[in-house]
Structure 1
Protein backbone atom coordinates (compact mmCIF):
# COMPACT_ATOMS: atom_id res chain seq x y z
CA UNK A 1 0.00 0.00 0.00
CA UNK A 2 2.88 2.31 0.64
CA UNK A 3 3.76 2.70 -3.03
CA UNK A 4 0.13 3.40 -3.93
CA UNK A 5 0.03 6.24 -1.42
CA UNK A 6 3.31 7.59 -2.79
CA UNK A 7 1.75 7.76 -6.25
CA UNK A 8 -1.43 9.36 -4.92
CA UNK A 9 0.58 11.94 -2.96
CA UNK A 10 2.53 12.74 -6.11
CA UNK A 11 -0.66 13.20 -8.11
CA UNK A 12 -2.06 15.39 -5.34
CA UNK A 13 0.87 17.76 -5.78
CA UNK A 14 -0.43 18.45 -9.30
CA UNK A 15 -3.93 19.13 -7.90
CA UNK A 16 -5.35 16.18 -9.82
CA UNK A 17 -6.91 14.54 -6.75
CA UNK A 18 -8.33 15.74 -3.44
CA UNK A 19 -7.58 14.02 -0.14
CA UNK A 20 -9.43 13.53 3.12
CA UNK A 21 -6.64 13.81 5.65
CA UNK A 22 -8.79 13.18 8.71
CA UNK A 23 -9.73 9.67 7.65
CA UNK A 24 -7.66 6.62 8.38
CA UNK A 25 -6.62 5.32 5.98
CA UNK A 26 -6.33 8.56 4.04
CA UNK A 27 -8.92 8.77 1.27
CA UNK A 28 -8.51 10.31 -2.20
CA UNK A 29 -11.01 11.34 -4.86
CA UNK A 30 -10.27 12.48 -8.41
CA UNK A 31 -11.18 16.02 -9.44
CA UNK A 32 -13.34 16.63 -12.49
CA UNK A 33 -11.52 15.61 -15.72
CA UNK A 34 -11.71 19.06 -17.34
CA UNK A 35 -10.48 20.72 -14.15
CA UNK A 36 -7.66 18.21 -13.85
CA UNK A 37 -6.54 18.81 -17.43
CA UNK A 38 -6.68 22.60 -17.00
CA UNK A 39 -4.57 22.38 -13.84
CA UNK A 40 -2.09 20.05 -15.52
CA UNK A 41 -1.80 22.43 -18.48
CA UNK A 42 -1.26 25.42 -16.18
CA UNK A 43 1.46 23.55 -14.28
CA UNK A 44 3.25 22.64 -17.50
CA UNK A 45 3.02 26.24 -18.72
CA UNK A 46 4.61 27.47 -15.50
CA UNK A 47 7.39 24.90 -15.83
CA UNK A 48 8.08 25.97 -19.41
CA UNK A 49 8.08 29.66 -18.44
CA UNK A 50 10.60 28.92 -15.70
CA UNK A 51 12.79 27.01 -18.17
CA UNK A 52 12.61 29.87 -20.68
CA UNK A 53 13.59 32.33 -17.96
CA UNK A 54 16.54 30.13 -16.95
CA UNK A 55 17.74 29.82 -20.55
CA UNK A 56 17.42 33.58 -21.07
CA UNK A 57 19.57 34.19 -17.99
CA UNK A 58 22.17 31.70 -19.26
CA UNK A 59 22.23 33.34 -22.71
CA UNK A 60 22.54 36.82 -21.19
CA UNK A 61 25.41 35.66 -18.98
CA UNK A 62 27.24 33.93 -21.82
CA UNK A 63 26.70 36.91 -24.13
CA UNK A 64 28.29 39.21 -21.57
CA UNK A 65 31.27 36.89 -21.20
CA UNK A 66 31.74 36.61 -24.96
CA UNK A 67 31.51 40.38 -25.46
CA UNK A 68 34.25 41.00 -22.91
CA UNK A 69 36.54 38.36 -24.42
CA UNK A 70 39.56 39.61 -26.36
CA UNK A 71 39.08 39.32 -30.15
CA UNK A 72 41.12 36.67 -31.89
CA UNK A 73 43.49 38.17 -34.45
CA UNK A 74 44.60 34.88 -36.03
CA UNK A 75 43.84 34.33 -39.69
CA UNK A 76 40.74 32.21 -40.22
CA UNK A 77 38.67 31.39 -43.27
CA UNK A 78 35.50 29.50 -44.02
CA UNK A 79 33.38 28.97 -47.13
CA UNK A 80 29.82 28.16 -48.10
CA UNK A 81 28.74 26.51 -51.36
CA UNK A 82 25.25 26.76 -52.82
CA UNK A 83 22.69 29.58 -53.16
CA UNK A 84 21.07 29.22 -49.73
CA UNK A 85 24.33 28.53 -47.91
CA UNK A 86 26.05 31.59 -49.41
CA UNK A 87 23.21 33.87 -48.36
CA UNK A 88 23.21 32.37 -44.85
CA UNK A 89 26.94 33.06 -44.53
CA UNK A 90 26.61 36.63 -45.78
CA UNK A 91 23.71 37.36 -43.43
CA UNK A 92 25.64 35.86 -40.52
CA UNK A 93 28.71 38.02 -41.17
CA UNK A 94 26.60 41.15 -41.62
CA UNK A 95 24.96 40.48 -38.26
CA UNK A 96 28.41 40.18 -36.65
CA UNK A 97 29.63 43.57 -37.88
CA UNK A 98 29.94 46.18 -35.13
CA UNK A 99 31.91 48.95 -36.81
CA UNK A 100 31.81 49.12 -40.60
CA UNK A 101 30.42 47.22 -43.61
CA UNK A 102 31.80 47.94 -47.07
CA UNK A 103 30.08 46.15 -49.95
CA UNK A 104 31.40 46.11 -53.51
CA UNK A 105 28.78 44.65 -55.83
CA UNK A 106 29.13 43.29 -59.34
CA UNK A 107 26.37 42.29 -61.75
CA UNK A 108 26.59 38.79 -60.25
CA UNK A 109 25.04 40.11 -57.07
CA UNK A 110 21.73 40.90 -58.71
CA UNK A 111 20.04 38.13 -56.71
CA UNK A 112 20.92 39.90 -53.46
CA UNK A 113 18.49 42.68 -54.33
CA UNK A 114 15.66 40.46 -55.53
CA UNK A 115 13.10 41.92 -53.17
CA UNK A 116 10.92 38.79 -53.35
CA UNK A 117 13.59 36.32 -52.23
CA UNK A 118 16.96 36.62 -50.54
CA UNK A 119 17.17 40.36 -51.10
CA UNK A 120 14.77 41.01 -48.24
CA UNK A 121 17.07 39.17 -45.82
CA UNK A 122 20.13 41.11 -46.98
CA UNK A 123 18.41 44.49 -46.85
CA UNK A 124 16.87 43.76 -43.45
CA UNK A 125 20.27 42.76 -42.08
CA UNK A 126 21.83 45.96 -43.42
CA UNK A 127 18.97 47.92 -41.86
CA UNK A 128 19.63 46.24 -38.50
CA UNK A 129 23.33 47.06 -38.83
CA UNK A 130 22.55 50.73 -39.42
CA UNK A 131 20.23 50.80 -36.41
CA UNK A 132 22.99 49.50 -34.11
CA UNK A 133 25.38 52.20 -35.34
CA UNK A 134 27.33 50.30 -37.99
CA UNK A 135 28.54 52.42 -40.90
CA UNK A 136 27.51 50.86 -44.22
CA UNK A 137 28.84 51.77 -47.67
CA UNK A 138 27.93 50.30 -51.05
CA UNK A 139 29.94 50.47 -54.28
CA UNK A 140 28.22 49.05 -57.38
CA UNK A 141 28.33 48.96 -61.14
CA UNK A 142 25.94 51.34 -62.93
CA UNK A 143 24.13 48.30 -64.41
CA UNK A 144 22.86 47.41 -60.94
CA UNK A 145 21.07 50.70 -60.31
CA UNK A 146 17.88 49.91 -62.30
CA UNK A 147 17.24 46.69 -60.34
CA UNK A 148 17.48 48.29 -56.90
CA UNK A 149 14.16 48.28 -55.02
CA UNK A 150 12.61 51.65 -54.23
CA UNK A 151 13.00 50.96 -50.51
CA UNK A 152 16.78 51.20 -50.71
CA UNK A 153 16.52 54.93 -51.27
CA UNK A 154 14.34 55.28 -48.19
CA UNK A 155 16.32 52.99 -45.90
CA UNK A 156 19.93 53.60 -46.93
CA UNK A 157 20.15 57.24 -47.90
CA UNK A 158 23.21 57.93 -45.73
CA UNK A 159 25.85 55.38 -46.73
CA UNK A 160 26.61 51.61 -46.60
CA UNK A 161 29.94 49.96 -44.25
CA UNK A 162 32.43 45.60 -42.84
CA UNK A 163 34.85 45.62 -39.91
CA UNK A 164 38.46 46.26 -40.93
CA UNK A 165 39.69 42.69 -40.42
CA UNK A 166 37.22 40.56 -42.37
CA UNK A 167 36.48 40.09 -46.07
CA UNK A 168 33.55 38.18 -47.57
CA UNK A 169 34.07 37.36 -51.25
CA UNK A 170 31.41 36.09 -53.63
CA UNK A 171 32.49 33.44 -56.13
CA UNK A 172 30.41 33.41 -59.35
CA UNK A 173 29.28 30.08 -60.77
CA UNK A 174 31.66 29.01 -63.59
CA UNK A 175 28.83 27.41 -65.59
CA UNK A 176 25.87 29.63 -64.69
CA UNK A 177 26.86 33.24 -65.12
CA UNK A 178 23.89 34.68 -63.22
CA UNK A 179 24.26 32.48 -60.14
CA UNK A 180 26.54 32.56 -57.13
CA UNK A 181 28.66 29.44 -56.66
CA UNK A 182 30.17 30.07 -53.24
CA UNK A 183 30.96 32.62 -50.55
CA UNK A 184 34.36 32.85 -48.85
CA UNK A 185 34.74 34.53 -45.47
CA UNK A 186 38.36 35.44 -44.64
CA UNK A 187 39.45 37.02 -41.35
CA UNK A 188 42.84 38.58 -42.00
CA UNK A 189 43.54 42.22 -41.16
CA UNK A 190 46.41 42.51 -43.65
CA UNK A 191 44.39 41.01 -46.49
CA UNK A 192 41.43 43.24 -45.63
CA UNK A 193 43.77 46.23 -45.84
CA UNK A 194 44.95 45.13 -49.28
CA UNK A 195 41.35 44.83 -50.45
CA UNK A 196 40.56 48.33 -49.20
CA UNK A 197 43.60 49.68 -51.00
CA UNK A 198 42.57 47.91 -54.22
CA UNK A 199 39.12 49.47 -54.27
CA UNK A 200 40.11 52.82 -52.75
CA UNK A 201 40.56 54.61 -56.10
CA UNK A 202 37.19 53.32 -57.30
CA UNK A 203 35.50 54.71 -54.21
CA UNK A 204 37.16 58.07 -54.82
CA UNK A 205 36.04 58.12 -58.45
CA UNK A 206 32.50 56.85 -57.83
CA UNK A 207 29.44 59.05 -58.22
CA UNK A 208 27.09 59.44 -55.28
CA UNK A 209 23.80 57.62 -55.90
CA UNK A 210 20.59 59.53 -55.25
CA UNK A 211 17.18 57.93 -55.65
Structure 2
Protein backbone atom coordinates (compact mmCIF):
# COMPACT_ATOMS: atom_id res chain seq x y z
CA UNK A 1 0.00 0.00 0.00
CA UNK A 2 1.27 3.47 -0.87
CA UNK A 3 2.16 5.84 1.93
CA UNK A 4 3.26 9.43 2.39
CA UNK A 5 6.75 8.10 2.97
CA UNK A 6 6.82 7.12 -0.71
CA UNK A 7 6.60 10.85 -1.48
CA UNK A 8 9.46 11.78 0.81
CA UNK A 9 7.96 12.29 4.27
CA UNK A 10 9.47 10.66 7.33
CA UNK A 11 7.40 8.37 9.54
CA UNK A 12 6.89 11.12 12.12
CA UNK A 13 5.98 13.68 9.45
CA UNK A 14 3.45 11.30 7.89
CA UNK A 15 1.90 10.55 11.28
CA UNK A 16 1.66 14.22 12.21
CA UNK A 17 0.06 15.22 8.90
CA UNK A 18 -2.52 12.41 9.05
CA UNK A 19 -3.38 13.31 12.63
CA UNK A 20 -3.80 16.99 11.73
CA UNK A 21 -6.34 16.00 9.09
CA UNK A 22 -8.35 14.27 11.80
CA UNK A 23 -7.97 16.78 14.63
CA UNK A 24 -8.29 20.03 12.72
CA UNK A 25 -6.52 23.10 14.16
CA UNK A 26 -4.53 22.00 17.18
CA UNK A 27 -1.46 22.77 19.26
CA UNK A 28 1.86 20.98 19.06
CA UNK A 29 1.28 19.37 22.45
CA UNK A 30 -2.15 18.04 21.46
CA UNK A 31 -0.78 16.83 18.11
CA UNK A 32 2.06 15.01 19.86
CA UNK A 33 -0.48 13.00 21.84
CA UNK A 34 -2.75 12.35 18.86
CA UNK A 35 0.03 11.27 16.51
CA UNK A 36 2.36 9.47 18.95
CA UNK A 37 5.19 11.73 17.82
CA UNK A 38 7.43 12.40 20.85
CA UNK A 39 7.08 15.88 22.30
CA UNK A 40 10.82 16.34 21.91
CA UNK A 41 10.45 15.92 18.14
CA UNK A 42 7.07 17.47 17.37
CA UNK A 43 8.31 21.02 16.72
CA UNK A 44 11.00 19.84 14.31
CA UNK A 45 8.38 17.73 12.53
CA UNK A 46 5.95 20.65 12.26
CA UNK A 47 8.69 22.96 10.99
CA UNK A 48 9.53 20.39 8.33
CA UNK A 49 5.88 20.08 7.30
CA UNK A 50 5.69 23.86 7.03
CA UNK A 51 8.75 23.79 4.79
CA UNK A 52 6.91 21.32 2.55
CA UNK A 53 3.91 23.70 2.64
CA UNK A 54 1.74 20.90 4.03
CA UNK A 55 0.63 22.73 7.19
CA UNK A 56 -0.21 26.30 8.12
CA UNK A 57 0.22 27.85 11.54
CA UNK A 58 -1.75 30.47 13.43
CA UNK A 59 0.98 32.54 15.02
CA UNK A 60 -1.43 34.95 16.71
CA UNK A 61 -2.78 32.26 19.02
CA UNK A 62 -1.06 31.28 22.24
CA UNK A 63 -0.07 28.51 22.15
CA UNK A 64 0.43 28.41 18.38
CA UNK A 65 -2.00 26.22 16.48
CA UNK A 66 -1.45 24.24 13.31
CA UNK A 67 -3.79 23.06 10.56
CA UNK A 68 -3.21 20.65 7.68
CA UNK A 69 -3.38 21.77 4.06
CA UNK A 70 -6.10 19.94 2.11
CA UNK A 71 -4.96 16.46 0.94
CA UNK A 72 -5.23 17.16 -2.81
CA UNK A 73 -3.11 20.29 -2.48
CA UNK A 74 -0.62 18.56 -0.20
CA UNK A 75 -0.19 15.60 -2.56
CA UNK A 76 0.25 17.89 -5.56
CA UNK A 77 2.98 19.79 -3.71
CA UNK A 78 4.77 16.61 -2.71
CA UNK A 79 4.55 15.34 -6.28
CA UNK A 80 5.98 18.57 -7.67
CA UNK A 81 8.83 18.37 -5.18
CA UNK A 82 9.61 14.83 -6.34
CA UNK A 83 9.47 15.85 -9.99
CA UNK A 84 11.86 18.70 -9.29
CA UNK A 85 14.25 16.35 -7.49
CA UNK A 86 14.12 13.86 -10.35
CA UNK A 87 14.74 16.58 -12.93
CA UNK A 88 17.77 17.73 -10.97
CA UNK A 89 18.98 14.12 -10.87
CA UNK A 90 18.49 13.80 -14.63
CA UNK A 91 20.57 16.92 -15.16
CA UNK A 92 23.31 15.57 -12.91
CA UNK A 93 23.34 12.21 -14.71
CA UNK A 94 23.45 13.92 -18.11
CA UNK A 95 26.49 15.90 -17.00
CA UNK A 96 28.13 12.69 -15.79
CA UNK A 97 27.41 10.96 -19.11
CA UNK A 98 28.83 13.91 -21.08
CA UNK A 99 31.95 13.82 -18.94
CA UNK A 100 32.37 10.05 -19.23
CA UNK A 101 31.73 10.04 -22.98
CA UNK A 102 34.97 11.89 -23.59
CA UNK A 103 36.81 9.63 -21.15
CA UNK A 104 35.49 6.35 -22.53
CA UNK A 105 35.88 6.91 -26.26
CA UNK A 106 36.46 3.61 -28.01
CA UNK A 107 40.01 2.75 -28.89
CA UNK A 108 41.03 2.00 -32.47
CA UNK A 109 39.31 -1.14 -33.78
CA UNK A 110 41.12 -4.39 -33.09
CA UNK A 111 41.95 -6.26 -36.29
CA UNK A 112 41.49 -9.68 -34.70
CA UNK A 113 38.21 -11.32 -35.82
CA UNK A 114 35.46 -11.38 -33.23
CA UNK A 115 31.87 -12.57 -33.26
CA UNK A 116 28.91 -12.84 -30.95
CA UNK A 117 25.38 -14.13 -31.39
CA UNK A 118 21.83 -13.77 -30.12
CA UNK A 119 19.12 -16.42 -30.32
CA UNK A 120 15.39 -15.75 -30.23
CA UNK A 121 13.31 -12.82 -31.46
CA UNK A 122 13.79 -10.35 -28.63
CA UNK A 123 17.51 -10.90 -28.09
CA UNK A 124 18.14 -10.85 -31.85
CA UNK A 125 16.35 -7.54 -32.26
CA UNK A 126 18.12 -6.06 -29.22
CA UNK A 127 21.52 -7.05 -30.64
CA UNK A 128 20.69 -5.52 -34.02
CA UNK A 129 19.50 -2.27 -32.44
CA UNK A 130 22.62 -2.09 -30.28
CA UNK A 131 24.88 -2.43 -33.32
CA UNK A 132 22.90 0.11 -35.36
CA UNK A 133 23.30 2.59 -32.51
CA UNK A 134 27.07 2.03 -32.53
CA UNK A 135 27.54 2.88 -36.24
CA UNK A 136 29.59 6.01 -36.91
CA UNK A 137 29.82 6.34 -40.69
CA UNK A 138 27.69 3.91 -42.66
CA UNK A 139 24.80 1.49 -42.26
CA UNK A 140 23.92 -0.89 -45.09
CA UNK A 141 20.77 -2.95 -44.63
CA UNK A 142 20.03 -5.81 -47.03
CA UNK A 143 16.71 -7.61 -46.67
CA UNK A 144 15.03 -10.49 -48.44
CA UNK A 145 12.10 -11.04 -46.05
CA UNK A 146 10.82 -9.64 -42.76
CA UNK A 147 11.43 -11.61 -39.59
CA UNK A 148 8.20 -13.50 -38.98
CA UNK A 149 8.60 -14.18 -35.28
CA UNK A 150 8.55 -10.55 -34.12
CA UNK A 151 5.72 -8.07 -34.15
CA UNK A 152 6.34 -6.34 -37.47
CA UNK A 153 4.99 -2.92 -36.52
CA UNK A 154 6.74 -2.79 -33.15
CA UNK A 155 10.01 -4.10 -34.58
CA UNK A 156 9.84 -1.72 -37.54
CA UNK A 157 9.27 1.28 -35.29
CA UNK A 158 12.28 0.43 -33.13
CA UNK A 159 14.52 -0.12 -36.14
CA UNK A 160 13.38 3.11 -37.79
CA UNK A 161 14.02 4.93 -34.51
CA UNK A 162 17.66 3.81 -34.63
CA UNK A 163 18.03 4.55 -38.34
CA UNK A 164 16.59 8.03 -37.88
CA UNK A 165 18.96 8.67 -34.98
CA UNK A 166 21.86 7.49 -37.15
CA UNK A 167 20.81 9.79 -40.00
CA UNK A 168 20.59 12.70 -37.58
CA UNK A 169 24.20 12.13 -36.51
CA UNK A 170 25.36 12.05 -40.14
CA UNK A 171 25.57 8.31 -40.81
CA UNK A 172 24.99 7.24 -44.42
CA UNK A 173 22.13 4.71 -44.53
CA UNK A 174 21.53 2.47 -47.57
CA UNK A 175 18.63 0.03 -47.82
CA UNK A 176 18.68 -2.77 -50.43
CA UNK A 177 15.71 -5.14 -50.51
CA UNK A 178 13.76 -7.51 -52.68
CA UNK A 179 10.90 -5.72 -54.47
CA UNK A 180 8.33 -8.07 -52.95
CA UNK A 181 9.55 -7.32 -49.43
CA UNK A 182 7.41 -4.20 -49.30
CA UNK A 183 4.41 -6.21 -50.47
CA UNK A 184 4.83 -8.58 -47.52
CA UNK A 185 5.00 -5.72 -45.00
CA UNK A 186 1.90 -4.07 -43.53
CA UNK A 187 1.11 -0.68 -45.04
CA UNK A 188 1.85 1.00 -41.70
CA UNK A 189 5.37 -0.46 -41.67
CA UNK A 190 6.04 0.78 -45.21
CA UNK A 191 4.85 4.25 -44.27
CA UNK A 192 7.11 4.20 -41.22
CA UNK A 193 10.18 3.82 -43.44
CA UNK A 194 9.05 6.28 -46.10
CA UNK A 195 7.64 9.12 -44.02
CA UNK A 196 10.45 9.19 -41.48
CA UNK A 197 13.53 8.37 -43.56
CA UNK A 198 13.13 9.29 -47.23
CA UNK A 199 13.53 13.04 -46.76
CA UNK A 200 17.10 12.64 -45.45
CA UNK A 201 19.82 13.36 -48.02
CA UNK A 202 22.03 10.68 -46.48
CA UNK A 203 19.37 7.97 -46.91
CA UNK A 204 18.84 5.93 -50.05
CA UNK A 205 16.84 2.81 -50.86
CA UNK A 206 16.94 0.44 -53.82
CA UNK A 207 15.34 -2.86 -54.77
CA UNK A 208 16.74 -5.90 -56.57
CA UNK A 209 15.13 -9.29 -57.27
CA UNK A 210 18.50 -10.98 -56.69
CA UNK A 211 18.55 -10.47 -52.92
CA UNK A 212 18.50 -13.85 -51.18
CA UNK A 213 19.65 -13.10 -47.64
CA UNK A 214 19.30 -10.56 -44.85
CA UNK A 215 22.20 -8.77 -43.18
CA UNK A 216 23.45 -5.38 -41.99
CA UNK A 217 26.91 -4.04 -42.82
CA UNK A 218 28.16 -1.41 -40.38
CA UNK A 219 31.02 1.02 -41.02
CA UNK A 220 32.51 -1.48 -43.48
CA UNK A 221 34.01 -3.54 -40.64
CA UNK A 222 31.09 -5.30 -38.98
CA UNK A 223 28.23 -7.42 -40.25
CA UNK A 224 25.04 -8.69 -38.59
CA UNK A 225 23.72 -11.81 -40.32
CA UNK A 226 20.25 -13.19 -39.75
CA UNK A 227 20.33 -16.97 -39.39
CA UNK A 228 17.33 -18.85 -40.85
CA UNK A 229 15.61 -21.50 -38.77
CA UNK A 230 17.34 -24.90 -39.20
CA UNK A 231 13.97 -26.64 -39.63
CA UNK A 232 13.14 -24.49 -42.61
CA UNK A 233 10.47 -22.43 -40.91
CA UNK A 234 9.81 -18.96 -42.26
CA UNK A 235 11.40 -17.24 -39.31
CA UNK A 236 14.78 -16.00 -38.14
CA UNK A 237 16.52 -18.31 -35.69
CA UNK A 238 19.06 -15.76 -34.49
CA UNK A 239 21.58 -13.08 -35.40
CA UNK A 240 25.37 -13.36 -35.65
CA UNK A 241 27.38 -10.17 -35.24
CA UNK A 242 30.85 -10.52 -36.75
CA UNK A 243 33.92 -8.33 -37.07
CA UNK A 244 36.26 -9.82 -39.65
CA UNK A 245 37.99 -7.55 -42.17
CA UNK A 246 38.31 -10.20 -44.91
CA UNK A 247 34.73 -11.38 -44.58
CA UNK A 248 33.24 -7.90 -44.44
CA UNK A 249 35.32 -6.89 -47.48
CA UNK A 250 33.74 -9.73 -49.46
CA UNK A 251 30.27 -8.78 -48.21
CA UNK A 252 30.87 -5.14 -49.12
CA UNK A 253 31.97 -6.03 -52.64
CA UNK A 254 28.92 -8.23 -53.18
CA UNK A 255 26.68 -5.44 -51.95
CA UNK A 256 28.21 -2.92 -54.34
CA UNK A 257 27.54 -5.25 -57.27
CA UNK A 258 23.88 -5.71 -56.32
CA UNK A 259 23.48 -2.01 -55.52
CA UNK A 260 24.73 -1.00 -58.95
CA UNK A 261 22.03 -3.05 -60.72
CA UNK A 262 19.23 -2.25 -58.28
CA UNK A 263 16.46 0.27 -58.95
CA UNK A 264 15.56 3.19 -56.67
CA UNK A 265 12.60 2.65 -54.37
CA UNK A 266 9.78 5.17 -54.55
CA UNK A 267 6.90 5.97 -52.20
CA UNK A 268 4.81 3.00 -51.01
TM-score when normalising by structure 1: 0.74
SS at match of 1:177: coil
Residues 83-120 of structure 1 deviation map (CA, whole Å, 9 limit, x = unaligned): 2222222222222212111223234x4659x8634233
SS at match of 1:89: helix
2:147 and 2:236 in contact (8 A); partners too: no
Distance 1:141 1:48, change over 3 A: closer
Task: Work out which of the residue numbers 119, 131, 143 in structure 2 matches 1:93.
Answer: 131
Give the superposition deviation at 1:208: 2.2
In the alignment, the residues of structure 1 paired with residue 157 and residue 165 of structure 2 have an alpha-carbon distance, to the nearest angstrom, of 12
In the alignment, the residues of structure 2 paired with residue 38 and residue 144 of structure 1 have an alpha-carbon distance, to the nearest angstrom, of 51
1:94 and 1:126 in contact (8 A); partners too: yes
Q: What is the aligned residue count?
A: 207
Give the superposition deviation at 1:58: 2.4
Match of 2:181 in 1: 144
Match of 1:135 in 2: 172
Match of 1:173 in 2: 229
The yes-or-no answer on 1:105 pairing with 2:143 is yes
1:110 and 1:144 in contact (8 A); partners too: no
Task: Work out which of the residue numbers 20, 25, 32 in structure 1 matches 2:69.
Answer: 32
Higher alpha-carbon Rg? 2
Q: Provide the aligned C-alpha RMSD in A.
A: 3.5
The yes-or-no answer on 1:209 pairing with 2:254 is no
Q: Structure 1: give runs of 5+ residues left out of the alignment.
A: none
TM-score when normalising by structure 2: 0.61
Higher deviation after alignment, 9-18 or 84-93:
9-18
The yes-or-no answer on 1:78 pairing with 2:133 is no
Give the superposition deviation at 1:31: 3.2
Task: Work out which of the residue numbers 32, 48, 56 in structure 1 matches 2:86.
Answer: 48
1:165 and 1:190 in contact (8 A); partners too: no
SS at match of 2:237: strand
Higher relative contact order (CA closer than 8 Å, sequence separation 6+): 1
Give the superposition deviation at 1:186: 1.6
Give the superposition deviation at 1:170: 0.5
Match of 2:8 in 1: none
2:56 and 2:69 in contact (8 A); partners too: no
